[in-house]
């Protein structure tokens, strides 16, 4: 399926969302199209998110300025504009299926905040990551400052956010921002698809419960109790025996 700024394709139980803005940026259409595409996932059990050229070079400032400009100085109007962006990113984060970000080229600003909302991140050796909002006189407000400390630690998140300086793929792997670095784009996308196919072969309720528990943000004891309750509701002996036979 093709929308104004993204494309959604399916291969078996794996869906791929391609961020297809011609400049590699996120314009107003992106924030409308991503939720529409997520609503069309159907029976997909894993989602891969990728860019067409770069993963994302951040906001399309020229296209976004007419939307944001009239809201500046008015917190209520500004919040309404940003809420649409939040809905797209939070929609990815709260999907009941695993989401894999396959990152080639630049992953900047809003692009990094979107990637941080995915469950797994892979990148090519040429990938570069940056959260440059401070250089533009603004504070990142699409979830990056909330998610990145949990992914890479507060100190490294602060380094990215306070300096605005980029890091390369090797640093991203050392820091834990990505879990694998592939040689080039072709190898990256092939690996993302194979990983997605593997995840799609696993019991979906187990994946959903694991994702929920990783994200729940509850105190330790409450998170443990929630995981136990999930298993009590969804675990079956047949599924366990079937899994053991395949192992």
Secondary element (H or E) of residue 101:
strand 99-103
- Please give the pLDDT value at position 230: 84
The one catalytic residue in 133, 173, 180, 222 is 133
Active site residue 133: yes
- Please give the pLDDT value at position 74: 92
Let me know: does 134 contact 162? Beta carbons within 8 Å.
Answer: yes
- Please give the pLDDT value at position 119: 98
Question: Quick one: DSSP state of residue 120?
Answer: E
Rounded to whole angstroms, the Cα distance separating 102 from 177 reads 12
Task: Reduce the DSSP state of residue 52 to 3 states and report it.
Answer: coil
Query: CA of 204: how far to CAs of 97, 120, 130, in Å?
Result: 7, 16, 33
| Spatial CB neighbours of 75, under 8 Å, sequence gap ≥ 6 | none
Query: What is the reported pTM?
Result: 0.93
Active site residue 180: no
- Please give the pLDDT value at position 234: 82
The one catalytic residue in 52, 113, 183, 208 is 113
Residue ranges in the chain modelled with pLDDT below 70: 237-247
| Spatial CB neighbours of 8, under 8 Å, sequence gap ≥ 6 | 1, 2, 15, 16, 17, 18, 37, 40, 41
Rounded to whole angstroms, the Cα distance separating 174 from 177 reads 8
- Please give the pLDDT value at position 242: 59
The crossing angle, in degrees rounded to 10, of helices 75-93 and 28-38 is 40
């Amino acid at each position: 399926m093709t929308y104004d700024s993204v494309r959604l394709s399916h291969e078996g139980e794996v869906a791929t969302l391609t961020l297809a803005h011609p400049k590699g940026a996120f314009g107003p259409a992106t924030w409308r199209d991503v939720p529409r595409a997520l609503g069309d996932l159907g029976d997909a059990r894993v989602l891969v998110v990728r860019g067409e050229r770069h993963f994302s070079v951040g906001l399309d400032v020229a296209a976004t300025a007419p939307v944001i400009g009239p809201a500046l100085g008015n917190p209520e109007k500004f919040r309404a504009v940003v809420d649409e962006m939040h809905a797209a990113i939070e929609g990815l984060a709260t999907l009941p299926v695993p989401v894999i970000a396959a990152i080639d080229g630049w992953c900047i600003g809003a692009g990094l905040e979107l990637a941080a909302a995915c469950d797994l991140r892979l990148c090519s050796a040429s990938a570069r990551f940056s959260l440059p909002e401070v250089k533009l006189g603004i504070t990142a407000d699409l979830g990056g400052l909330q998610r990145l400390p949990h992914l890479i630690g507060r100190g490294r998140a602060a380094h990215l956010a306070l300096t605005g300086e980029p890091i390369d793929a090797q640093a991203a792997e050392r820091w834990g921002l990505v879990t694998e670095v592939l040689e080039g784009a072709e190898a990256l996308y092939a690996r993302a698809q194979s990983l997605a196919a593997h995840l799609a072969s696993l019991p979906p309720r187990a994946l959903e419960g694991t994702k929920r528990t990783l994200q729940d943000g509850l105190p330790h004891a409450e998170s443990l109790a929630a995981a136990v309750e999930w298993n009590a509701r969804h675990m079956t002996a047949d599924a366990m025996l079937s899994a053991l036979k395949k192992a």
